[in-house]
Amino acid sequence: MQKGEMYVGWSTKEDVRKRGGSGGLVTSMLAAALEKKLVDAVVVLKKINEFEAVPIITSDVNEVLNSAGSLHSVPSHFAKLIANRNLKVALPAKGCDVRGIIEQGKRNAINLDNTFIVGLNCGGSMHPVVTREMLEVMYKIKPEDVHGEEIEKGKLIFETKDGKEHAITIDELEEKGFGRRESCRYCTIKVPNNSDIACGNWGVTGDLVGKATFVEINSEKGAKLLQNAVDAGYVQVQKPDEKGVAMRAKIKGVMEDLGKKWKGKVFVPIENGRLEYFRKELEHCIDCGACKTVCPTCSCGEVSKCTEYHSRGDAYKMSMYHLVRFLHLADACIGCGQCSDVCPVDIPLTRLYRRFANPVQEQLKYEPGMDMRKPPYFEVKLNE
Amino acid sequence: MSSEVAAASAPAAAKTDGWEPKIVAFCCNWCSYGGADSAGMGRFQQPASTRIIRVMCSGRIDPLHVFNAFLEGADAVLVTGCHIGDCHYVNGNDKTKIKYKYLENVVHELGIEKERLQLNWISASEGEKFANFIRDVTAQIKKLGPSPLKPEGVA
Ligand SMILES: Cc1cc2nc3c(=O)[nH]c(=O)nc-3n(C[C@H](O)[C@H](O)[C@H](O)COP(=O)(O)OP(=O)(O)OC[C@H]3O[C@@H](n4cnc5c(N)ncnc54)[C@H](O)[C@@H]3O)c2cc1C
Ligand code: SF4
Ligand code: SF4
Ligand code: SF4
Ligand code: FES
């Protein structure tokens, strides 16, 4: 197996297949890496309920095997979880997780040589609080009655404990302000080719739909990971059919275009009154620092430049904290949406940060987290 | 939002008459500070609007110094240093240049007029250039009025 190859595969363990998002390949691949000592630890999500889960770092193969499933309303981020721990680790990662991990790698907080990144194709994730509200308002069902959830043909389907299915199109949900987090709507990394191996259900055809995962090997590490799982008897793979490969490429293109359209819709230029707009949005900030703590590209630790200026000095019209962060995130923000997710006073922070990051990253032709290129500041040549 | 914008700009209009802007100029020890010095020695006419802050090299100017100047009430902030190639610490001003690019973008996106933040390379012998620069900026800022980031009660 080598970089560039594509396969369709599934877990050889029936219960993992049953619980898995689509075939349980990812779970079994992670478990095999642990079993065969390719890594010392694996990150998986431990489910609390249908809408919430916490990421755990484990060295217990059974814990990994018991984790499976794609949780669309869990927008957790794994980069900071494994940062500064010096782990030999394998972990699943949505596009934004991968970008965060790579940025932490550039900042020497994660050793990428020891990190096996299993990328998950990602059409988007939802905020758990918004999901609950959406269930009551749009679906008219009690969150407690939900038994399972899946996305099929543009519809978000919830299954209730009585066995009934409730489907609404994602377009309709988003028109009403529900559905995916805003950052996911304009996210353009749908197939994480920046990971070691990209996995997803796009491109799975025929009888295998829902029962297998399509993988694309992006690096030597990715090849090693999959080969190891096959050798250990944890997963089975076959070559994908041409139709599947074409379909996957097509959906990827469509989704990326959709992301770009959303970007235009969210970031309508503000000609006049920008300062007042930012001041108004930040008005209720309580300086808790959560937006900085979760930010997966920041590796400053507790004492950092922005937090030195937390409390608003004198009669300042804006907090230095946010000004410093607007600047520092201009080249670093990966648009993961974490800051908006955690803000206790619901400031749409990602939208604010991206106002600065979009023009800077476009101008400098720099996309953080997509490859190992260093931030442009570090590329300064002598007397250029 | 519109009523607040109006409220914020009302005193601005009233103050423009005979009002002197406050301009903070960061100058590096080896070139632009020398330029400011030569401007004085050569008796080039320039308004008294400027507060010079001397740093060893333009590369030392942290964007947060600039934000701080604005938040404290500066109507304009000038970043100055040696000409490219002449920095006394080899490439400090190359770093200034790229830092400035970020800073300029952020300040622009924030909605601060571009005249309020300017970059200029001035050598120690360019006294006249320094004086002209200050004169031009002062005239531009007089037209714009006080900075929207100026705290209440600060002149
Ligand atoms: C939020 C989300 C959106 C997705 N959207 C698409 C899509 O649009 N198109 C597509 O082709 N594929 C998408 N996928 C991938 C797909 O659903 C399957 O996860 C993939 O095919 C692997 O299936 P599996 O059965 O092998 O994985 P499993 O064996 O079920 O393993 C899934 C692994 O992912 C982890 N995981 C679950 N939820 C999350 C989460 N929210 N964040 C991080 N890790 C998580 C679990 O801990 C587990 O380790 C998405 C996945 C997620 C999590
Ligand atoms: S930001 Fe992108 S990669 Fe991350 S959860 Fe949203 S759609 Fe997926
Ligand atoms: S600023 Fe917000 S959206 Fe950008 S990387 Fe940090 S947490 Fe993610
Ligand atoms: S999370 Fe919200 S309240 Fe807390 S510091 Fe950030 S913007 Fe302010
Ligand atoms: S010493 Fe003047 S810019 Fe570096």
- A367 CA from centroid of ligand 1 (Å): 24
Q: Comparing C-alpha atoms, which of A246, A384, A170 is closest to residue B95?
A: A384
Residue B85: CATH number of its domain? 3.40.50
Taking the CA of A235 as reference, the closest ligand is 1
Residue B16 lies in a domain: no
User: Across the 155 residues of chain B, what is the mean pLDDT of every consecutive 10-residue run?
Assistant: 42 62 97 94 89 97 96 97 95 92 94 97 96 96 96 88
User: What global pTM score does this model have?
Assistant: 0.93
- pLDDT number for residue A370: 97
Helix (H) or strand (E) holding A321: helix A320-330
- pLDDT number for residue B107: 97
Residue B38 lies in a domain: yes
Residue B1 lies in a domain: no
Q: Comparing C-alpha atoms, which of A31, A10, A6 is closest to residue A90?
A: A31
Residue B150 lies in a domain: no
Which residues of chain A fall short of a pLDDT of 50? 383-384
DSSP character string of B47-74: -TTEEEEEES-GGG--HHHHHHHHHHT-
- pLDDT number for residue A384: 45
Residue B34 lies in a domain: yes
Which three-class secondary structure state does DSSP give residue A205? coil
- pLDDT number for residue A297: 96
Residue B111 lies in a domain: yes
Are B64 and A305 in contact (CB < 8 Å)? Answer: yes
- pLDDT number for residue B8: 44
Which three-class secondary structure state does DSSP give residue A172? helix
Are A317 and B91 in contact (CB < 8 Å)? Answer: no
Q: Comparing C-alpha atoms, which of A296, A302, A361, A348 is closest to residue A322?
A: A348
Residue B154 lies in a domain: no
Helix (H) or strand (E) holding A166: strand A165-169
Q: Which atom of ligand 1 is nearest the CA belonging to A201?
A: 11
What does residue A86 show for φ and ψ, rounded to 5 degrees?
Answer: 55, 50
Residue B128 lies in a domain: yes
Domain encompassing residue B103 = 21-144
**Cβ atoms of residues A199 and A214 within 8 Å:** yes
A334 to chain B nearest CA, in Å? 16
What does residue A213 show for φ and ψ, rounded to 5 degrees?
Answer: -125, 145
Q: Which residue in chain A is spatially nearest to B98 when comparing CA positions?
A: A377
**Cβ atoms of residues A275 and B111 within 8 Å:** yes
Residue nearest to atom 3 of ligand 3 (CA): A335
Number of domains making up chain B: 1
Span A319-330, pLDDT tens digits: 899 999 999 999
